[in-house]
Amino acid sequence: MKVVVIYGGKSAEHDISILTAGSIIKEIYFEYYDVEPVYITKEGTWLKGEALKAPVAFDQALRLTEGLEARFATVEGEVSTGVRIQPSDIAGPDTVVFPILHGPNGEDGTIQGLFEILDLPYVGCGVLASANGMDKIASKHLFQQAGIPQVPFVPFVKADFKKSPEAIYNRIEGTLRYPVFVKPANMGSSVGISKATNREELTAAIEEALKYDRRIVVEQGIDAREVEVAVLGNDEVNTSVVGEVVKQAGFYDYNEKYINNTTTLQIPAAIPEEVSAKIREYAETAFRAIDGSGLTRCDFFLTETQEVFINEVNTMPGFTQFSMYPKLWEAMGISYKDLVEELIRLALKRYNDRHAE
């Protein structure tokens, strides 16, 4: 069977996608699969490399360019060149797609729709779940309906803000108290997110978020720990132990996650067993609320008084060497290699189950 690993993409999380793809390719069982790398450039060009028989030597070798320069060496010394293709060219028999794309055009249901049209099995959530999980406003409404606690929030669109900024400020300051967090509705990895402690910072934070999306959500800031749960499965749902992101900085932003890497992960988190059970229950509820399948990481806030609030879900969480999702399953006794294999198996099972109906 051929595994088509698609990575890169046009979103602000392009570089994160390359790191994740490199990590996953290193752990695929090459004795079972041929691996075909497909790189989407920042401009949206699709480049296909030759089928791999072994992992690439280093992650950045996956950053292909079209032409003779577009080659990378595997551990065994083989080379492959990037050839421009159309997205539909990935279709073929005995093929499963492993999309390692974060953010818009990759994690939001758009590319999942392409796979559905091409009738290909693919790893991860489907169109609806991906769209729901990516959109912070839509997911918050679903979580409300599911009865999962969350902090107060104020959503708005760019047109309303440009028309009457004062009205938006009044809504925010009349509903929330500083500090607040301003987020683009459709973005991940803390891209475009800012903390605001006054009106001046709020204005700057909104302008920053509007660079990434026309829909914005402002959330109440709280003093809380950040804990996360990994979810794995289709109709049968499994949840991991709870892990905690221990921060040196006050705000776990993009730089702290991927550049400075000043955070540490505590697995399992030092929390009471009954609180852990509640968080895992909420994670499963959130997974079902968005109609999840394959995998999701659910992020929560935990206060000193043991109150739990859902923050967001990630339908394609990072798989870098310091990512929480694979480490949570490692704590449950599932190795990285076996986790990748299980995700492929779940993709094929979902596809076969649907075609058997």
pLDDT in tens, 40-58: 999 999 999 888 888 876 6
Q: Is 225 part of any known ligand binding site?
A: yes
Determine whether 323 is an active site residue: yes
User: Which of 84, 103, 122 lies at the terminal end of a domain, its last residue?
Assistant: 122
Task: Report yes or no on 192 lying in a domain.
Answer: yes
Q: Are residues 213 and 236 in the same domain?
A: no
76: Cβ–Cβ under 8 A, 6 or more apart, which residues? 53, 54
* Containing structural domain, residue 77: 2-122
Distance in angstroms (rounded) separating the CA atoms of residues 290 and 294: 12
Total number of domains in the chain = 3
- Flag whether 57 is in a domain: yes
Say whether 17 is catalytic: no
Q: Is 186 annotated as a binding residue?
A: no
Same domain, 211 and 285: no
CATH number at residue 195: 3.30.1490.20
Instruction: From the candidates 17, 23, 240, 323, give the one annotated as an active-site residue.
Output: 323
Confidence (pLDDT) at 50: 81
Residue 302 belongs to domain with CATH number? 3.30.470.20
Q: Is residue 142 part of a domain?
A: no
What pLDDT score does 81 carry?
64
Catalytic residue among 13, 36, 228, 256: 13
User: Same domain for 179 and 106?
Assistant: no
Which has the closest alpha carbon to 38: 89, 74, 75, 79?
89
Is 306 found in the same domain as 228?
A: yes
> Is there a single domain that holds both residue 156 and residue 34?
no
Give the end of a domain, one of 83, 102, 122: 122
d(CA 230, CA 325): 6
Do 252 and 340 reside in the same domain of the chain?
A: yes
What's the pLDDT at 297?
97
d(CA 272, CA 302): 11
- 181 located within any domain: yes
Are residue 251 and residue 201 in the same domain, yes or no? no
- 104 and 15, same domain (yes or no): yes
Report if residue 349 sits inside a domain: yes
Comparing CA positions, the residue from 244, 314, 250 lying closest to residue 275 is 244
Listed as ranges, residues in the chain with pLDDT below 50 are 68-70, 73-80
The reply to whether 230 and 216 lie within a common domain is no
- Ligand-binding annotation for 224, yes or no, is yes
Q: Are residue 23 and residue 117 in the same domain, yes or no?
A: yes
Residues 64 and 107 in one domain: yes
Does some domain include residue 206?
yes
17 carries a ligand binding annotation: no
pLDDT 10s digits, 218-275: 999 999 999 999 999 999 999 999 999 997 655 555 555 555 556 789 999 999 999 9
At residue 75, the pLDDT reads 47
Answer yes or no: is 334 within a domain.
yes
Catalytic entry in 80, 189, 194, 293:
189
For residue 127, being part of any structural domain is answered with no
- Among 172, 197, 220, give the residue marking a domain's end: 220
213 marked among binding-site residues: no
The enclosing domain of 48 has a CATH number of: 3.40.50.20
Would the annotation count 223 as a binding residue? yes
108 lies in the same domain as 10: yes
80 flagged as catalytic: no
